[in-house]
Amino acid sequence: MTTSDLRIAVVGAGAMGADHIKRITHTITGASVGAVVEPDAGRRDAALVNAPGAVGYERLEDALDAGTVDAVLIATPGRFHQPVLLPALAAGLPILCEKPLTQDPETSWEVLEAEQRAGRPLIQVGFMRRFDPEYAQLRALIAGGSAGDLLLIHAAHRNAAVPDSYAQSMLITDSVVHEFDVVPWLAGGSIRSVEVKYPKRNSLTSERLREPILVVMELDNGVLVDVEMNVSIQFGYQVTTEAVFEQGVARIGQPSGLQLWQDGTFRIGEHADFTTRFAVAYDRQVQAWVDAAKVGAIAGPSAWDGYKVAVACRAGVKALESSGPVEVELPPVPAFYADITS
């Protein structure tokens, strides 16, 4: 820690919070963990081992009262985001909020209002895929037009398994939520409608789930996107994208690393989960946020981006239960966000 370090309160010390704590302590520069806010004492103590000098709290308000926090990283489950966002905004602190911004458009809108009262953009939403080098390359290819216009995208989002707490609606709100952010960022335009189709059910999935699902998004620039969302694929974690242009095809997210030919077979490793698949993206995201926070800015998806995704998620959840496309209707972007929207 140096005196110019941004002192971060990490709120939530579950898998993602613990991962960010290690990242802040060991990988990125210019920041340190000043507080770990977690009601579960066991988790809090385990997380504090990787946060030398940090103090543990049960509530964010107590950490804020101590006056030793410069910024807040929110890594609680999504349903707790709003109650943490509001005091952090009232304290005028920079915030990195894991996805989703909140659970629904109404509470996300309340967060937008609170941020506007704070007077400047304070929230960056943790849609980390925007910081993945291959996603950035694909975005540049699309924008540059060297392969012609983008026509359609095939995406696959595959998890080996999900925890017992994962409900059917979370196929959209916890998983496809990433595509709802990253696809418009890649392809330009915004989502006009969302449709969900059900292929044959995977008999290995949990009884409470009906999946995989195929999500079809129509963008207002004519680009069509299909996402295979799969949360019991068993073999590992895989997020791939194939973009089809007028004059070519581009792919990202292919397995990389050691390739092995042996005993008449060819093998290459695959990720087990998102913490390794997107490790570089998470590192770059948190570093960019820290650097920007120090100069009073954000460096990634804004709260307005989070709001737009909340609206798309509402349509997506409705589409899980209906046939045909569900429209996505957004209000006009508030002036406050007009210049920082992606």
Nearest distance in Å: CB 273, ligand ISE? 8
Q: Which is nearer to ligand ISE, 132 or 195 (CB)?
A: 132
Q: Which is nearer to ligand ISE, 131 or 337 (CB)?
A: 131
Q: Which is nearer to ligand ISE, 144 or 163 (CB)?
A: 163
Q: Map residues 152-191 to x or -, x wherever contact with ligand ISE holds by CB under 6 A.
A: -----x-x--x-----------xx--x-------------
Residue (of 104, 113, 33, 14) closest to 73 by Cα position: 33
Choosing from 57, 274, 289, 337, the residue that interacts with ligand ISE (CB under 6 A) is 274
Q: Map residues 229-268 to x or -, x wherever contact with ligand ISE holds by CB under 6 A.
A: ----------------------------------------
User: Measured between alpha carbons, how far is 82 from 102 in angstroms, rounded to an integer?
Assistant: 6
Nearest distance in Å: CB 341, ligand ISE? 22
The answer to whether 282 contacts ligand ISE (rule: CB under 6 A) is: no
Nearest distance in Å: CB 155, ligand ISE? 12
Q: Which is nearer to ligand ISE, 36 or 162 (CB)?
A: 162
Q: Which is nearer to ligand ISE, 21 or 89 (CB)?
A: 21
* Sheet containing strand 326-327, strands side by side: 249-252, 238-245, 150-158, 224-230, 213-219, 191-197, 326-327
User: Measured between alpha carbons, how far is 72 from 6 in angstroms, rounded to an integer?
Assistant: 10
Nearest distance in Å: CB 175, ligand ISE? 3
Nearest distance in Å: CB 27, ligand ISE? 19
Q: CA torsion angle for 139, 144, 146, 151 (degrees, to 10)?
A: 50
Which token pair is 275?
Answer: 């913490």
Q: Map residues 288-317 to x or -, x wherever contact with ligand ISE holds by CB under 6 A.
A: ------------------------------
Q: Which is nearer to ligand ISE, 195 or 211 (CB)?
A: 211
52 preceded by cis ω (within 30°)?
no
- Residue 32 sits at φ, ψ, to 5 deg, of -145, 160
Q: Which is nearer to ligand ISE, 166 or 245 (CB)?
A: 166
Please, what sign has the CA dihedral across residues 219, 210, 232, 273? positive
Nearest distance in Å: CB 264, ligand ISE? 34
User: Measured between alpha carbons, how far is 100 from 278 in angstroms, rounded to an integer?
Assistant: 17
Non-local CB neighbours of 206 within 8 Å, separated by 6+ positions: 162, 164, 166, 232
Q: Give the total of residues touching ligand ISE (CB under 6 A).
A: 7
User: Measured between alpha carbons, how far is 64 from 17 in angstroms, rounded to an integer?
Assistant: 18
Nearest distance in Å: CB 184, ligand ISE? 18
- Residue 8 sits at φ, ψ, to 5 deg, of -100, 135
User: Measured between alpha carbons, how far is 300 from 142 in angstroms, rounded to an integer?
Assistant: 19
- Give residues in contact with ligand ISE (CB under 6 A): 157, 159, 162, 174-175, 178, 274
